[in-house]
Amino acid sequence: MPRILPQVLRNLFRRPATVKYPYVRVEPPEGYRGRPSIDKERCIRCWLCIRTCPVRAITVNKETKKPSIWLGRCVFCGECAEACPTRAIIMTREFELATYDIQQAKSE
């Protein structure tokens, strides 16, 4: 008898190990590094985030004169959030970032 049979039989009566993703969502844990978001009110324009970003994903928005993060380049390391002296940048727990519009792939 194959040695794995007891495991296989037990699995028949177990609930599935996977979740039906788009219908059932598993919340990421506290402290998950998802999409970074910038609080424009709090930003004091010290540009520390631009200097610490390892992939140069942060640029200055010409109209608002505030930083904006291009998510196509961002590696979600969280260095900018750590460097920000006023905690204007935080890492949210959002992870569904696929989009058709390139303008959407930016932190607002």
Partner 1 sequence: MTFVVPIGPQHPALKEPEYFRFEVKGEEIVDFDVRLGYVHRGIERALQERSYLHNIYLSERICGICNVAHTTAYCQTIEQLAGIEVPDRARFIRTILCELERIHSHMLWAGIAAHEIGFDTLFMLFWRDRELVLDLKEMISGNRQTSASNTLGGVRRDVKPEYVPKILRTLEKLEKATEQYINICTSDRTILARCAGIGVLPKDDAKKLCAVGPTTRASGVDIDIRRDDPYDAYGQISFDVITEPDGDVLAKVIVRLREILESIHITRQAVKALPKGPLRAKITPKIEPNEAIGRVEAPRGELLYYAISNGTDKPERVRVRTPTYANIPSFKPMFVGGTVAEIPIVLASIDPCFACTDRVALVDSHTGKTRVLSFKELRRWKG
> Does 22 participate in binding partner 1 (rule CB under 8 A)?
no
Tell me the site size for partner 1, rule CB under 8 A. Answer: 21
Alpha carbon distance, N-terminus to C-terminus of the chain: 60
| Residue number with CB closer to partner 1 (28 or 102) | 28
Mark residues 31-70: x for contact with partner 1 by CB under 8 A, - for none: xxx------------------x-xx---------------
> Does 2 participate in binding partner 1 (rule CB under 8 A)?
yes
Pick from 48, 71, 77, 105: which binds partner 1 (CB under 8 A)?
Answer: 77
Q: Long-range contact list for 45-53, CB < 8 A, 24+ apart?
A: 46/85, 48/83, 48/84, 48/85, 49/80, 49/83, 49/84, 49/89, 51/83, 52/79, 52/80, 52/82, 52/83, 53/79, 53/80
Pick from 23, 29, 96, 98: which binds partner 1 (CB under 8 A)?
Answer: 29
> Does 12 participate in binding partner 1 (rule CB under 8 A)?
no
Q: Are strands 58-60 and 36-38 parallel, antiparallel or unpaired?
A: unpaired
* C-alpha neighbours within 13 Å on the C-beta side of residue 9: 6
The footprint of partner 1 (CB under 8 A) covers 2-4, 7-8, 17, 28-29, 31-33, 52, 54-55, 75-79, 82, 91
